[in-house]
Structure 1
Amino acid sequence: MSIPRRTLLIGALIATQASAASTVDQDDLRQAFIEHYATAVAEPNAVSSAIHQTLSTYPLYPYLEYQVLRSSLSSQSEARVNDFLERNADTPLYGRLLFAWARQTGAKGEWDSFDRAWQKIQRPSTDLKCLNGRHQLEQGNLSVAWEQARTLWTVGHSQPDSCDPLFNTWLESDNFSTSDALKRYQAALIKGREGLATYIKRFIRDQATLAEAERALALYQTPRLLLDEPARLKDDMPGAQALLEMSVRRLARQDLTAAIQLWVRDRDRLGLSTENQAELTRYLGVWYSKRFPNAQGRALLAQLDPQYQSADLVGWRARLALSDRNWSEARQLIERLPAEEQQSDRWRYWTAISQQGQGDSARETLQALAAERSFYGFMAAQILGVDYALNNRPASLDMTRLETLAATPAFARMRELLALERYSDARSEWNLAIADMSETDIHHAAHLVSSWGWHHQGIRGAISSEQWNDMQLRFPNPYPELYSRHAGTRDIDPIWALAVTRQESAFWMGAKSRVGARGLMQLMPATARATARRNGISLSTLDDLGKPDLNIQLGTAYLGEMFQQFNGNQAHATAAYNAGPHRVSRWLDARGELPLDIWIETIPFDETRSYVQNVLSFKVIYARMANTPVALFSDREFATLALNQQN
C-alpha cells in the first residue's frame, strides 16, 4: 500500500519535534519516572524533592506527583491537595484526586472539607452521595438527608457500605415507612435478587403490606400463576405494572410463547402506556422471531404488535418473510417500517430483492444503492457488475494546527503514556482533551495520534469528528507484512484477515475484551492455546497474545481453520470466527438452504450479523484502497444470493 503524502508530512513533523530535544535525555527521564513512580506507590515519602525537581519537566510528572499524594492522602493537608487540583485541573488526575479526597474526608467525618470537595463534583458516585447524605444529617438538614436516603435505599441491589450509617439512622426514623420497604422488596425481586428481598422483608411490619410482598414473591417464583389466575394482579395494587413485567420476563425463560400470551392479555388490562409497553414488546417479539416460528407463531407476533409500532419487531417479521421467500409479505412489512428505516441501505436492498421476486424491475433501486459504501451497497454493485463505491475524501490537514496540537501538554502526556503502554490513562487524556474541541481539531488530533501508531484512537477520532469518508484514517494497515506472511501460510486472503482485525480490535494496542479475548485478532485463551497446539506454534504465556506477530499468526491460523471447515465460504467462516463454529453449524443445519444474503440477514445473533457484514465490507474497502482486485462474494457465494436464485 502506498503511503499518502499527508502521512509523510505528519511523520516529518514528529521527526522534527524529536530532534528538538535530546532523545537520550527523554529516555533517561522516562526510565527515572518508571522507577520513582513505583516508589511513589509503595513508599511515597521516599520520593525526595530532588527527584521532584529532576522530573518536573517530564510530561508525566503530574502522574508522579499525583501518586505521591494518593499514596499518602491520609496525611496530606487540604491546602496541598487543592494546590495540586488547581495546577492540574485540565488533566484526568483532577477528578481522581478530588473523588479520593472527598471519600476520605467524608469517611473521617471532616464535613467542612468534604463539603468543599462535594461542591466541585459534577457527577458524584453512589458512595459520595451516601456520604453527602450523612453530611446533611450531621448538619441537621433532615429533609434533604431523608430524601437522599430514600433515593439510595429504594433500589433492587446492594449499596456500598458507606451508605450504612445513613440508612441505619433513616430506618429508625419516623420518615421511613413500610411502603418504602415494599418498594425495595419488589425492586429486588424484579432484579432477580431474592436474597436481598428476604433481608428487606424484616422491615415490613404490617399484614397488608406483608401480603403484597408475598404476592410478589409468589409471582417471582411461579410466574405462570398469573397466566392462570389474572386476579393475582389488579391495576390498583402497589407496583402492579412492574410485577407484570417481572412475571412476563421470568415466564419467558420457561415458556416464551406463554409469556407473550400473558403480556398480550394483561399489558392493557393493567394500564401500561404504549411507551411503557414498547421495550418489553420489542424484547419478546425479537426473541421469538429468532426462533423462526411456524404460521401459528407468526400470528402470535401479529398480536404482539398489531399496529406495527416496534420497528425492530417489524424488521424481524420482514426477515421471516424473506426466509420464506414470501416477497409480497416482505415488501408489505418493509412498508410498515418508519420512513427513515425504509430508506436505510438494508431495507432498500431487500425492497429491491422483493420487487424482483414479484417480477418488477429492481434495477433503478439497485443502481442508487450501488453508489453507497456499505454492505448492501457493495452487494448491489456486485449484482450490477459495477465498481464498488469507496467515496473516499482524503483529509486536508493544516500543518500549523498539527504542530500546535502536538505541542500541548495533554498530547505530550498521551504520547508518553502510549510509550509506557498505559493505554487507559492515554484514553482518559484523549477524552478530556477533545471534550471542547471543534470537529476540525478532533480530526487533526485523530491523524496526529494515528501517526504515532495509536490507530484505534485515530478511528474513534474519525467517528467523533464525523469524518466518515476519511478512509486513510478509518482504515489503517499497520502490519501489512505480518498479514501477508501469516495469511499466505494458511492460504487465506490477507486482506480478509486484516478486515477481521479491523472489526475485532480496530488495532487497539493491548485490547482485551470483557470475556477475555486478547490482542489484535481478539483470541480467547482456550482458542489460542488449542490453535497453537494444532499448528505447532509456540505460546509461552497468554501475555504473548499482546504481541502483534504472534497474535496475527495464531489469528490467521484459526481463521484458516474456519475457512476449511466451512468449505471456503468466507461469510460462514467469518461468522464462525465470531460466534464459534458449533453455532454456525447449527444455523446451517437449520437454514443452510437459504440464499446466502438471506442467511446472513437472519443470523440470530445481532452482533454476529453486523460482524459478518462489516468484515466483508471492510475487505472490499481495504482492497480498493490498495488498488487490488476484490469481490464481496466469491463466484460460488455470489451464485447463491437471493436475486440470482430467482433467475
Structure 2
Amino acid sequence: AGQWKKFISYYRDRDGTKLRCYYARALYETSQIKKANEVTEALWMVGKSQPSACDSVFKIWEKKGGMTRARLWERVRLAMDKGQVSLAKFLASKMNKIDRNWVYHWRKMRKHPAENLLRKIYQVDAPIPNMIVRYGIKRLARRDIGAAADLWETIKTRHYKDTPQEAADVDQFLALRAAYQNHPRALEWLEKIPEPTAKVREWRIRAALSQQDWWAALHWIEALPEAERKSDQWQYWRARILALESKSLPTLRATSEKVYSRLSKERSYHGFMAADRSGGEYALHSDPLTFSKQELSAIENLPGIVRARELFFLGKLVDGRREWSKVTAPLNPIDLQKASLLASRWGWHDRAIFTVARASHFGDLELRFPMAHKEIVLSQAKKQGVEASWVYGVLRQESGFMADARSGAGALGLMQLMPGTSRLTARKLKFRIRSNMELLNVKKNIRLGVAYLRRMWDENEKNNILATASYNAGPYRIKKWLPKQDMPSDLWVETIPFEETRKYVQRVMAYTVIYDKKLTGKTGMMPYRMPLIKAKHDQES
C-alpha cells in the first residue's frame, strides 16, 4: 500500500491514459473505492479500446457492479458512433442474448442503412431499436441526404418513446448535413429547428448565402445574439449584402460603407476584405513589446527559463518546451509578454508566438510573424514560381515555426507534410526520402512543402484560395466542394463545410497580407489572390 500511496502523491491528471489506469488501481489498492469507481468509469466510458494497463481495473470495477446494462449500451453507442465495430462486438459478448442480437442488427444497419431502416423489427416503439434507427438515419444521410430526410419524415412519427431532444437531434443533424452538401432544401430545414444551436444559427446564414438569398441571410444575421452578430465575420457579410442590395435601394449604400469603414480597422481576414471594398488601408500597424533590460532580467533569470533556454540551444526541443510550459504556467500576462519577447530574441519563435497569444497581446507583428529561414523560403518560392509571402502564410498557420511539429494525423515539420505525399513530391524533385525523420529537416521540409504548394496551385488553375484549401483538406475533397455556378471567392470560403479548412484559408490569406508588407512593402493584395471560383464543370473540363 505504501508504494501505491507514493504513486498517488506523484500522479498528475495530464500524465496520459496508461498512467491514469495505474492511478485507478492505486485508488482501489488504498481503499478509496468511490473515487476509484469514478475514475475507472470515466476511463471505460469511451468509444475506443483502452490500453491493456486498464484491464485489471476494469475487472475490479466490473466485479463491484460497475458494468451495468445501461452503461454497456452507452459504450456500445459511443463505439458505433466512432466506427469501432470490433469494440461493440466485444461489448455485446457481455450482454444477454436479446441485447446481443440487437448489437448484431446495429452492425448490419451500419453497412446497409437504407435496406435495414425499413425492416419490421424497427417498427416497434422501444428505446433500443429507436436508437439504432436514429443511427441508421444519420448513417444514410452521409450517402444520400434526400433519402435520409424522406425516410425520417415517415419514421419519426411512430417513435413515441424518442424524447423531443432525441428527435430534434436527428432533425438538426439532417439540416446541417444538407447545408454542408449545399442541398437546395437546407435553408428550409434549418429554419424549422425550434431551438437552434450556434452552429445552426451560423449555417442558416451560410445556406442563405450559398443560395444567394441575400434578404434571408441578412434576416438571420440580424437575428443572431448580439455577441455573434458583432463578430467581424457577420458584420462583413451584413455590409456586403447591403452593398449588393444598394443597387436597387441606394439608401443602403451609406450603411454598408459605414460598416466597412469600421471593420477595416481590424487586422483580420474580414478586416482586410472590408478595407478592399471601402478603399481603405489595411490595419497593419504594429504595437511592439517594449521592456527594459532590468524588467526582462527578472524573467530571464528564473531557473526554469534558464533551463528551457539551454535545452533549446542544445536542440532538445521537446524537453525545452516541457520546461518552458512548466515555468510559464503561473505567470501573469505582463510576465508572459516578457517571456515571449525573450524567446523571440533567442530565435525560439514557436514559443514566442504561443506565449504572447496566451498573454492576449496580438499587436507585435515582428514577434508574431517572424521571417525565420528567410533564405530557403525565398529561394524555394522563386524556384517554384510562387509568392514567398504566401509560403510564409502557410508555414505560419501550419506549425507556428515549430520545426519538429507532429500532428495527430502524422504530418511533420514546419509545413506539416504527410510522409506519403512527401515521398511522391521528392521523387518528382529527383531525390529520396529514406526516413520520415528527414521531414523534420528545415531545408528539406520547406523545399518539399513549397513544391507541393505549387502543385496544388497548378491543379487549381493557379487559384490561391483553392490551392490553400487543397493544401489543408486535400485536392479530392476540394473538387467536391466546387460550386455548380461561378461564385465570388469570399462567398465560397464562407461556405466551406469544414470549419477547420474555412478558418485555415482565412488565416493563411490574412497572414499572407502581413508578410506582403514585411517582404515587399506592398498592401492591397487580397483581391489579386481571390479570383472567381469557377463552376465544377469548368474546372473538370
TM bucket, shorter chain: 0.7 to 0.9
2:86 maps to amino acid: G
Is 1:373–1:389's contact at 8 Å kept on the other side of the alignment?
A: yes
Alignment-mate amino acid for residue 287 of structure 2: R
Structure (1 or 2) with the larger CA radius of gyration: 1
Alignment of 1:542-557 (within 5 A): 542-557=436-451
Asked if residue 530 in structure 1 is aligned to residue 446 in structure 2, the reply is no
1:599 aligns with 2:492: yes
1:631 aligned partner: 524
Which of 387, 394, 408 aligns to 2:288? It is 394
2:181 equivalent among 270, 291, 298: 291
- Is the 1:334–1:347 contact (alpha carbons within 8 Å) kept by the matching residues of 2? yes
The residue type paired with residue 196 of structure 1 is L
Choose from 363, 375, 387 the match for 1:493.
387
- 2:513 is aligned with 1:620: yes
Hey, what does 1:3 align to over in structure 2? none
CA contact (8 A) 2:456 2:475 kept: yes
Name the structure 1 match of 2:375.
481
In the alignment, what sits opposite 2:249? none
* Residue deviations 1:535-554 (CA, integer Å, cap 9, x gap): 45676655443333333333
Q: How many pairs are equivalent?
A: 519
1:145-160 aligned at under 5 Å gives the runs 152-153=43-44, 156-160=47-51
Out of 281, 301, 321, which is 1:427 matched to? 321
CA contact (8 A) 1:521 1:551 kept: yes
Which stretch of the first structure deviates more once superposed, 595-604 or 513-522?
Answer: 513-522
Aligned with residue 139 of structure 2, among 227, 250, 255: 250
**Aligned residue type for 2:4:** F
Q: CA deviation at 1:436?
A: 0.8
Query: Residue 526 of structure 2 aligns to a residue in which SS?
Result: coil
Q: Are positions 1:326 and 2:218 aligned together?
A: no
Q: Does 1:354 align with 2:241?
A: yes
- Following superposition, the deviation at residue 511 of structure 1 comes to 2.4
Report the AA paired with residue 232 of structure 1: V
| Paired amino acid for 1:252 | A
1:456 is paired with a residue whose SS is: helix
Structure 1 pair 464/244, CA: closer, same or farther in 2 (3 Å)? farther
The 3 A distance-change label for structure 1 pair 116 and 554 is closer
Residue 199 of structure 1 aligns with which residue? 90
Contact 2:311 2:317 survives alignment (8 Å):
yes
* Matching residue of 1:314: 201
* 1:113 correspondence with 2:7: no
1-side partners of 2:69 and 2:477: how far apart? 49
User: Shift of residue 456 of structure 1?
Assistant: 1.1
The equivalent residue for 1:302 is 191
TM-score (norm 2): 0.83
Q: Unpaired segments of 5 or more residues in structure 1? A: 1-110, 642-647
Identity of aligned residues (%): 32
Give the stretch that moved more between structures: 505-514 or 363-372. Answer: 505-514
> 2 CA distance for matches of 1:175 and 1:533?
55
2:52 equivalent to 1:161? yes
**1:461-517 Cα shifts (integer Å, max 9, x gaps):** 111000011212111111223333222233332222221211122111222333333
TM-score normalised by L of structure 1: 0.70
Aligned mates of 2:100, 2:142 — CA distance in 1: 23
| CA deviation after TM superposition for structure 1 residue 170, in Å | 5.3
Separation of aligned partners in 2, 1:323 and 1:577: 23
Cα distance between partner residues in 1 of 2:198 and 2:158: 19
Q: Residues 454, 182 of structure 1: CA spacing in aligned structure 2 closer, same or farther, 3 A cutoff? A: same
Q: Report the Cα distance in structure 1 between the residues aligned to 2:218 and 2:171, rounded to whole angstroms.
A: 23
How many Å apart are 1:458 and its aligned residue? Answer: 0.8
**What is the match of residue 501 of structure 2?**
608
- In structure 2, what is the Cα distance between the partners aligned to 1:133 and 1:483? 50
Q: Counterparts of 2:85 and 2:517 in 1: how far apart (Å)? A: 56
Letter in 2 for 1:199: F
Aligned 1:79-478 pairs, distance under 5 A: 111-123=1-13, 126-127=17-18, 130-131=21-22, 134=25, 152-153=43-44, 156-169=47-60, 171=62, 181=72, 184-185=75-76, 187-205=78-96, 210-222=97-109, 225=116, 231-234=123-126, 237=127, 246-260=135-149, 265=156, 269-270=160-161, 272=163, 283-294=173-184, 296-303=185-192, 305-307=193-195, 309-359=196-246, 360-361=252-253, 362-478=256-372
Question: What letter matches 2:344 in structure 1?
Answer: S
* Change over 3 Å in CA distance of 1:169–1:415 after alignment to 2: closer
- The separation in 2 between residues aligned to 1:517 and 1:329, in whole angstroms, is 41
Q: Which segment drifts farther, 597-606 or 380-389?
A: 597-606
CA separation in 1, counterparts of 2:74 and 2:169? 22
- The answer (yes or no) to whether the contact 2:266–2:283 under 8 Å persists in 1 is yes
Taking structure 1 as reference, are residues 374 and 178 closer, same or farther at Cα in structure 2, changes over 3 Å only? closer
Cα displacement string for residues 280-310 of structure 1 (whole angstroms, at most 9, x for unaligned residues): 665543332121112x45433434x245x13
* Contact residue 176 and residue 190 of structure 2 kept, 8 A: no
Give the Cα–Cα distance (whole angstroms) in 1 for the partners of residues 345 and 170 of structure 2: 46
Amino acid at match of 2:326: L
Distance change in 2, residues 1:160/1:438 (3 Å): same
Question: Comparing 323-332 with 134-143, which one deviates more in the overlay?
Answer: 134-143
Matches within 5 A, 1:29-68: none
**Structure 1 residues 527-584: Cα deviation after superposition (integer angstroms, max 9, x where no partner):** 3333344345676655443333333333333333443444443223322333334444
Question: What is the Cα deviation at residue 400 of structure 1?
Answer: 1.8
> Deviations for 1:193-231, whole angstroms, at most 9, x for unmatched residues?
4433443344435xxxx4344335424422555566665
Distance 1:592 1:580, change over 3 A: farther
Structure 1 pair 550–288 and aligned structure 2 pair: CA distance change class (3 A): same
Q: One-letter code of the match for 1:469?
A: G
Unpaired runs of 5+ in structure 2? 247-251, 535-541
Q: Quick one: distance in 2 between partners of 1:636 and 1:130?
A: 51
Kindly indicate whether the alpha-carbon contact (under 8 Å) linking 1:442 and 1:465 is maintained by their aligned counterparts in 2: yes
RMSD value, Cα: 3.6
For 1:158, the aligned partner's letter is: S
Name the aligned partner's letter for residue 116 of structure 1. Answer: K
Letter in 2 for 1:408: L
